[in-house]
Structure 1
Amino acid sequence: VVAGMEGPLAECAKGEHFHIVTPLLESWPLSQVVDMPVFLKYENVQPTGSFKIRGIGHFCQEVAKKGCRHLVCSSGGNAGIAAAYAARKLGIPATIVLPEGTSLQVVRRLQGEGAEVQLTGKVWDEANLRAQELAKKDGWVNIHPFDHPLIWEGHGSLVVEDSEAVNAVQRFLDDERTLVEPACGAALAAIYSGLLGRLQAEGRLHPSPASVVVIVCGGNNIDSGELQALKAQLGQG
């Protein structure tokens, strides 16, 4: 942790993510439509309502570590909301620049996250130019809605989660001779990956719990063939 860093920035430096691990569930109706298993990753339960917090949140944390003092973004959609949320969590001011015709609902949503909203120009291109101009100020950083390696890296956590869950399902099958659904994999991965130990070391869990209970999901929507297919899709074949 950087000397003198306190509060939200200190948590950022410890590697705390702003996104959560979301469920991966099979959709039987969609599976019937395409005649193959279809799984849904429920990113709508993220704190900002979309997967954008993964990439945008990671980007904001990284630039904050390098001394960013003000974030600016030209998106009024999911990327802008993610930027405003991340800025609030980091304790850094955020300015969201949008076209003049932006709805009051969007403006209020962003202001509710603590962001300053500037309305400039008639189209997004003009608002984006204004955001780029603001980002020239010392300590200001512009957040592109999607086009930056740090954002791509953050979004990669989606694949990591699914991969860890599938690995946990396979290991649980080997250990307990019980096949469970991928949705159960997240809880099992918390055991196999050492997450519980890390949480104990950070003081976020009791150092010596009497027991740990893992809710094991049923296996009606999974079989060995589907498990192997999932592993192949994730490059684990």
Structure 2
Amino acid sequence: MPLHIQTPYIRSQVASRRLGKDVLFKLEAMQPSGSFKLRGVGAVCDARRAAGSRRFVSSSGGNAGIAVAYAGRELGVPVLVVVPESTSARARDLIRLEGAELIVHGASWAEANMFAQSVLSPHDAFVHPFDEPELWQGHSTMIDEMAAAGPKPDAVVLAVGGGGLLCGVLEGLARNGWGDVPVVAAETQGADCYARSIAQGRPVELPAITSVATSLGAKRPCDAAVEWATRHTVENIVVSDAAAVAASLRFLDEHRILVEPACGAALAALDAASTVLAAASRIAVIVCGGVTATVEYLQALSSRER
């Protein structure tokens, strides 16, 4: 049995009425670890344990580390997660809560990732948070569920950090005969490495992450995410931190589900200027989740961003 669960795929009456279109939410925030990350991470961890790995090592800004820690606990395999100093105390606590060893190293995910790679032993398995084909295959299963459950959307909206979710969704669209469905890739200003990469036609590395959406905190997207845009319609939308936070709070009010600003970027994209969404009658949004935010944190950000 996979470690992830099949999540609800529901039509939102309130969002549909506001936008004058059918809006459907794939509720990945309902995964046991709190985000979509468990799909790919679970698949990788399952395979690595079967191959004889005795410990899982990962680097993460939060959600991937929580997913690896959850997977290790469920599979009975020790876990080491390395996070940067920017990772919130709540995320660190949630990783420890799953029983994983936690090391804080470096100012950015890139530095944490280098350290995690340096401590690998021959019997360890490294679980990359976004750049791994087996991970993308795991993420793609959400599209299998959407295709089995409901009508074909005219567009899919999702948030992009390093590009793991994007690669998985695009793989799933292709496998299910939905290769003609355009994808809207949402980011926040200050974490928009993918939009900048697409604009320049090559992976671009940001000098720093300045957005509050720290779960989008890869300074450079994976090569595969950039390459996908050469053979699939991808529209980039960059929203403000304020819009992402406001969308997260509205989603909480309207659907009683708490998500991070990183996920809020995709929700905010629904109200942004978009050629793809303007032409769509039915829109599917990947509510990717995230458990490192609290209501108080979102409210504080909202007050600060005004």
| TM-score tier (shorter) | 0.5 to 0.7
CA root-mean-square deviation: 1.8
CA shift at 1:104, angstroms? 2.9
- For residue 75 of structure 1, what is the aligned residue in structure 2? 60
Aligned residue runs from structure 1 range 30-109, under 5 A: 30-109=15-94
CA shift at 1:29, angstroms? 2.0
Which of the residues 110, 120, 142 maps onto 1:125?
Answer: 110
Q: How many residues align?
A: 153
Determine if contact 1:76/1:96 at 8 Å carries over to the other structure. Answer: no
Determine if contact 2:62/2:92 at 8 Å carries over to the other structure. Answer: no
Unaligned runs of 5+ in 2: 152-280, 283-306
Which of the residues 125, 139, 149 maps onto 1:141?
Answer: 125
Work out the CA distance in 1 between the residues paired with 2:91 and 2:31.
18
Determine if contact 2:83/2:104 at 8 Å carries over to the other structure. Answer: yes
Q: Which amino acid aligns with 1:64?
A: R
- Mark the CA change 1:49 to 1:101 in structure 2 (over 3 Å): closer, same or farther: closer
- For residue 152 of structure 1, what is the aligned residue in structure 2? 136
Aligned residue runs from structure 1 range 149-228, under 5 A: 149-166=133-150
SS at match of 2:122: coil
- Mark the CA change 1:26 to 1:130 in structure 2 (over 3 Å): closer, same or farther: same
Work out the CA distance in 2 between the residues paired with 1:102 and 1:23.
29
Determine if contact 1:24/1:41 at 8 Å carries over to the other structure. Answer: yes
TM-score (norm 2): 0.47
Structure 1 segments, 4+ long, off by >3 Å, are 100-103
Larger Rg: 1
1:128-155: CA deviations, max 9, x gaps?
A: 10111122x1111111111111111001
Unaligned runs of 5+ in 1: 1-15, 168-228, 231-237
Work out the CA distance in 2 between the residues paired with 1:119 and 1:60.
22
Work out the CA distance in 2 between the residues paired with 1:77 and 1:103.
8
Shifted more, 107-116 versus 120-129: the winner is 120-129
Q: Which amino acid aligns with 1:107?
A: R
SS at match of 1:114: coil
Higher helix share: 1
CA shift at 1:159, angstroms? 1.0
